Structure 1
């Protein structure tokens, strides 16, 4: 099925769907949950409907780790940066597991080559990439409803999940810095005592730390370097099991709702962590650079940078 996009479990199997207008072929790579570095299967996605590549795997289960390799022309001057040597995250993944390790193979071109980003690099990036996770979307929401506090009575508390809970004396130490910590009785009671009716969470979706920060021993604490818009970041989860951050996040939302507190997400949909034309190939760039990003019309090697972050997502479809 071409929709919904992403990996969707229907109780009997998992459907995978990926949009790429200019790709010539797409491979779905499945990894061993017990050994995420081991690729167990590589499946050529034969079905294509309205520029969406898709395949259904009967008997596949939640917890499956996967990524994509997308084939097509590597012609930066024409806006195309396909490179099947690069394992790519699913932009519609509901969960991501593992860490990104900065390495030259993450770049679609040969670093240091005299041709710059015009010379494709054929080294495999999989050992240094996180994995997308197929999840079970079911959850016991019960009678949960948004509190819908009237605007004139709304009191919003902007917070960072880790920062708010890291040293909160009423949050159990084992839960500090996590979604579960924010949902702990002490944290919820504190917010309620203040009269807070809504929390605005600084970015909780999957992001990566910029290379220049990592090289200096730092990290992108705030999370505005997005790469997985639909995936709660596992670094903010108390459980390390792949995909369990989703249930923990939902539990947090349900708990806050029960206390009459709405949840607002600070999201960043205008750019991604792939940066400018010299950035890494992690997802969108390798799936279909010319479709996902806004390129300079008469110089498609470069990006329209309205964001100041190196690229701008294409919202004109």
Structure 2
């Protein structure tokens, strides 16, 4: 099992170092990506110890450069056993909000998800999960705040003059869809350690991303490869490694790192778990992070320290993020609390 653990860790390190070109994706992304599992891969829904999970992530970015980018993610999942074996099904909902710039370009997502977990072993937690997520996306802006060259007459700005833009509506909507698969397993002594690997394909239908409804402005599909390993380093402590590699059109992004967790109190039923560590978004930001678990809640904080070419203008400042997670069991006859095996991480 130690060899398996080493191979998994090496795979994650390769994932962090792979790729020769890094850039910004066209999609909303979070530094605490591990707290928005459906946004990474819809097949990661339900991979937790409990019946329900609800998570909120809020991001406030680049206040030192321009009007801040404000982004929020809310996801909720409900997991239950199906059939007479160890299979499970998870229903989820991913909601996103993003507001950026002087013209208040606002994007909202409402994306239901469904996931099936197929048990691959009768002796330990080992699951193959397949998920689908799809729904409505709306984008809008405040046209009254647009300033264009067309409104400068004789060198002076005249707001009474038309901005010269040809789009009619200041908002539009489209459908979007994603699919994904993941492998999740326990390993090691007493099967206390966990790992997962996943691959997702976003924007399956290539929705148009344009107020002009330009057919050439369709979103590039996005591939996301994800991996994670959680392993004990004693009765009280453990490491949690997470990484994502995203590729969307000509741009790519690599983000990954590790958190060290320490249990305060009884190792089997700790009063608190304190996590601290750091992540790196390659060629963009160093991300120190802390997290505190107080069952059934978790609160996480992170801050992007800008290391990109923008660091001079931003004075090294990036984005602040806050996450809140709830994981719990329900008082029902078929609660996953009663199951010996269950997908978890």
Structure richer in helix, relative to its length: 1
Which category of TM-score, normalised to the shorter sequence, fits these structures?
A: under 0.3
Which structure would you say has the larger Rg?
Answer: 2
